Amino acid sequence: MAEDLAKWLYLFNRGQDNQSFRRFGAHRVGADQWQFLVWAPHARTVAIVGEFSAWQPVLLTPVGETGCWLGQHPGQAGQLYKVQITTAKGEVVEKIDPYGFAFEKKPGTAARLSDLPAHQWGDAAWLAKRRTQLSYDQPLNIYELHLGSFKRHEDGSYLTYREAIAQVLPYVKEMGYTHLELMPLMEHLLDASWGYQLMGYFAPTSRFGSPADFLALIDAAHQLGLGVIMDWVPGHFIRNTDTLAQFDGTATFEYADPHRADNVRWGTWNFDLGKAQVQSFLLSSAMFWLDWCHLDGLRVDAVSNMLYMDYDAGKEHDRNRNGGRENLEGTAFLKRLNTEVFAAHPDVLMIAEESSDYPQVSAPIDAGGLGFNYKWNMGWMNDTLKYFSTDPYARRQHIDQLTFSWVYMQNEQFILPFSHDEVVHGKKSLMHKMPGDRYNQFANLRTMAVWQMTFPGKKLLFMGSEWGQFLEWRDWSQLEWVDLADPLNAKMQTFTKALNHLYLHTPALWQQDFQGAGITITIGDRPDVIAFERHGKRAGDCLIVALNLLPEERQAFVLPVPAAGTYEVVLNTESARFGGTWTHLQRIVRSRGIPERGRPDSVTVVLPAMGALLLRPLTEKVNLDSHLEVRSDD
């Protein structure tokens, strides 16, 4: 045992232990006996205080020159405890256990004696499928959700993890999403931080239940056919003095340089990503959620903050030892993170929330990249929202805000996000951003949704946007479910469901997202209409997209098509059942035998005002799913 501990601590101190959660913190070593292991390299003494000792210190013993402290004491599962540190200056402070698996409810910060969360998993079929169907040529449509404000009880209390199994998962599945992305559920104190100012890197937040309840939620999602991604924050941590900050009286987890340690933008402390023990800590955190909790991926928050020395306010002139802007240790850590994760789990998703033009974020490391699967396409998102927020007649001069994204759409493996960040802090909800009266706002929103769903790249939408909630997102109350009593909101929800299911059943929209063969642009030089084709891998598998960006119907519009034949209209955003005005729908069109814009043939259609049409070749083998067929409402 002593030899094993020496080996583990050697690896930990070299930044090579990605399973340190199995040894550090509190672990049961007998029926009622617990072992404690704490890293505090500059402490004078380290003790554990808790309910099991009437909050009197239980001294730990230093383990050689490792900077770690070890000891045992009897205790009962669930009892609260903290780490008591005497600093080199003689100050006595109480701190959290950085490796705690469970904590008391806010505002307390004591950990609970807890075994590694245990669960009898029933998701073997899901994991087997995940191993054989990598996401690049599969549908990936993510529903981003903040569990504390999706739904609440009448008294304002949260749904629990167990209640979310019944009240969240079936809804997300029915709406046609493939994955649920949870905003950070690691333990945090401040609701208003939305989980991004963390203290517990190995603990599901106690707000919604126990760690076992959290695992039950993940398992239930998998058994329902939903993947689960969670936001993960390795760049910074909460400032509170009883958490990780100045843990042993010195800069332990953060940079020793206060200027580098201080994260002005978020009011947090930056991890010292070049310190070996911090690397072991963070790598182990990632592995905990992927190994032990069966998560299907991590959306890594604030990657730009880890890539650049000058990203934060007041650091505009910071430079590395070579004179460049790059955070060399941050870049090295991200590569190391992806290397370790994919060595253990080649089938999970590692997603970078990265807002700069840093190259090759989603390229393999051996090709010079950072090694992520995907990068959020923030440029596409910003340009799209800017365009659709503009009055239709004023936007005629700004069509490049949409078409420019074609230039770089395959520079990375992109996810197209309309996330929580775009519907908060005075930015307005997606629906409220749209110009015109209420009818035209929904028409714009439907058309923008088609643009997102048909543009190359995977998809993400924040909760409430699927039915056009008018109010901005508020983390302190549930979504405005009452909106669905309004016919326009209810029909917008129907539209989103239909569009999601169309996406699921249309390989042309996802099989070749990241290959040039996946898209053919047919109309990109007009100020009012955009058209393109999306192609699957099978010959003839095609979806034709036409967007009319002005509130003027286009009669007898000539649309290029890839071949002679018959085409069916599989979606018209102006269908009355979606909130539009069309009650008689053009269902079948035949090619004219006349080439158009370099394509072999063309069809004549009526383009709905401020709307979109989706067409595909009609064959005798087509058997339309009920979700895909756009029926007449007369």
Active site residues: 301, 353
Contact 610, 440 (CB under 8 A): yes
**94: β partners:** 84
φ, ψ of residue 282 to 5 degrees: the values are -75, -40
**CA nearest 21: which of 266, 237, 285, 217?**
285
**CA nearest 480: which of 462, 498, 467, 496?**
467
**CA nearest 465: which of 231, 208, 177, 224?**
177
Give residue 20's identity as a one-letter amino acid code: S
Q: Three-state secondary structure along 442-466?
A: HHHHHHHHHHHHHCCCEEEEECCHH
Q: How, if at all, do strands 601-607 and 588-590 pair?
A: unpaired
SS3 230: strand
CB atoms inside a 10 Å sphere around CB 556: 8
Whole-Å CA distances, 550 to 370, 451, 536, 607: 41, 14, 29, 10
Tokens in use for 405?
A: 């994204």
**CA nearest 236: which of 271, 193, 204?**
271
CA gap 459, 140 in Å, rounded: 6
φ, ψ of residue 338 to 5 degrees: the values are -70, -35
Neighbour-count burial for 304-342, b at 16+ CB within 10 Å, e otherwise: bbbbbbbbbeebeeeebeeeebebebbbebbebbbebbb
Q: Which residue has the tokens 């040039």?
A: 516
CA gap 538, 269 in Å, rounded: 51
Calculate the CA 415 to chain-centre distance: 10
Contact 337, 287 (CB under 8 A): no
Contact 634, 628 (CB under 8 A): no
What DSSP letter does each residue of 187-221 carry, written as one string? EES-GGGTT-SEEEEEEE-GGG--HHHHHHHHHHH
**CA nearest 522: which of 403, 389, 353?**
403
Contacts of 394 (CB under 8 A, 6+ apart): none
